[in-house]
Amino acid sequence: MAIGVGLRIGRIVSTAVVASNEPGTPDPVVIARDTVLHIDHDGNSQLGGSTRTVDEARTLSGFLSRVGDPGGIAASDGRVYRAEDAMATAVHCLLNECHPLPTFGGMDRDTDPGYTATYPSHWDPTRVSVLRAALDYAELRHVDLVSDAQGAATWYASEISETPGLLIGVYHVDDAGSTVTLVRSGVPAGKAFRVTAKGAPSPAAQLATALGAFGWMPDNLDAVVVMGDGLIARDRSHIQDIANSLATKLMVRSLVGPGPEQTAALGAAILATGFTPAREKKARIGLPPSYDRTDVLTGGFARLREAETDSEDDPPVAVATTTDSGPAREPSSRGSSASEVVDEDQKALTVAQATEPPAEPKLSARTYALAGIGAVIVVCLVLALML
């Protein structure tokens, strides 16, 4: 499998990433949309967009946190929907914008692309199964589900790590709180640790507590990936400060993933290409546009192909992070070429904004204890010989 599509429905921004693991193929393409469903009188839905159309009957938002709630969620006109059905509709809308898929990679060899969507790491199995059932009902059985933490850890294993199968800590912060997940060989180690924002301990304390629950220490971690969602994720300096504090207090490598809300979707796309974190060494497929230059591609790849044919005299495409510029069937006729966008992004992008800990050797308390015991034994032996 050479082409993978990763999807993530966030509280404010939803992201689709299309990537290929074939050598020489373009870097992943990111499509970002507001997490708002616009529904017309015929029941047709569009994800994102801020302009009210003549046919629009209602809008629906805030459904991510309500998945599994039997009370459902009310649209702008009062009509009540099941939140999991709204999630499935949002996934469907994102997938529509990814098609038709490009012909590079495996598509020209009649291999099927892979599709993977993520869900919040702190969800319990019941909420995940409810979402799975909604996707199946919406004829999206081909879309696999993984947690945000699995996506983030896969991104690290594919793009950064030199050794497969290591223990990765994922620190996810959002407007309601934070979640710590430990991922080993691509699989979460037990349940995630969720803390509400009010009165929460420091990020380092949260991670230390999660490690201690399994009998692990910070030395057991290969790295910590910091990611975010919601309004707080737009404050890149705050996210970077969290990474810095983890590196300083726990003496671990700490990185901010691309986006940072893009990290899980990128990892999902990498998983969808067939990458296996537990067995495969680093197999980079490239990074999406940088945090500050997320290009909202109205019309998906149709928009990208049109941009390639635009004249060089046209002004650069407008850069946005959360707003759609119009219906998906009406792509903009102006924009810079794809090669120009990629070149600018490569100049602006720094790989994961890594924060390296100090280079001094790390000695744990256990090491000091063993050294002390050894010294006592030596002294006793010397005294025995003298007597």
Instruction: Report pLDDT digits (tens) over 57-78.
Output: 899 999 999 999 999 999 999 9
What distance separates the 2 farthest-apart alpha carbons in the chain?
101
For the chain, the first-to-last Cα distance in angstroms comes to 75
Segment 147-161, tens digit of pLDDT: 999 999 999 988 887
**Residues 250, 353, 157: CA angle, nearest 5 degrees:** 75
Segment 236-295, tens digit of pLDDT: 899 999 999 999 999 999 999 887 788 999 999 999 988 877 555 555 555 544 333 333
Using only the alpha carbons of the chain, give its radius of gyration. Answer: 23
Q: pLDDT-based confidence at 48, cuts 50/70/90?
A: confident
pTM of the model: 0.72
Mean pLDDT score, 16-43: 84
Segment 196-250, tens digit of pLDDT: 999 899 999 999 999 999 999 999 999 999 999 988 988 889 999 999 999 999 9
Position of tokens 């067995």? 279
Which residues, 6+ apart, have CB-to-CB distance to 262 below 8 Å? Answer: 8, 15, 17, 30, 32, 288, 291, 294
Are the beta carbons of 295 and 341 closer than 8 angstroms? yes
Q: Is the pLDDT of residue 361 over 80?
A: no
Q: Is the pLDDT of residue 300 over 60?
A: no
pLDDT at 274: 85
The two tokens of residue 292 are 């500050």
Mean pLDDT score, 176-183: 96
Separation CA 128–CA 107 (nearest Å) = 30
Between 105 and 131, name the one with better pLDDT: 131
> 283: how many CB neighbours lie within 10 A of its CB?
15
Q: Is the pLDDT of residue 163 over 90?
A: no
Q: pLDDT-based confidence at 1, cuts 50/70/90?
A: low
Q: Is the pLDDT of residue 309 over 80?
A: no
Exposed e or buried b for every residue in 78-91, given b needs 16+ CB within 10 A? eeebbbbbbbbbbb
Are the beta carbons of 206 and 213 closer than 8 angstroms? no
Of 18-27, 60-69, 176-185, the poorest mean pLDDT is in 18-27
What one-letter code names the amino acid at 242? I
Which SS3 state, helix, strand or coil, does residue 87 take? helix
E strand intervals along the chain:
3-9, 13-20, 29-34, 36-40, 45-47, 56-61, 73-74, 80-81, 114-119, 143-147, 167-173, 177-184, 187-188, 193-196, 223-228, 254-256
pLDDT at 83: 96
Separation CA 194–CA 223 (nearest Å) = 20
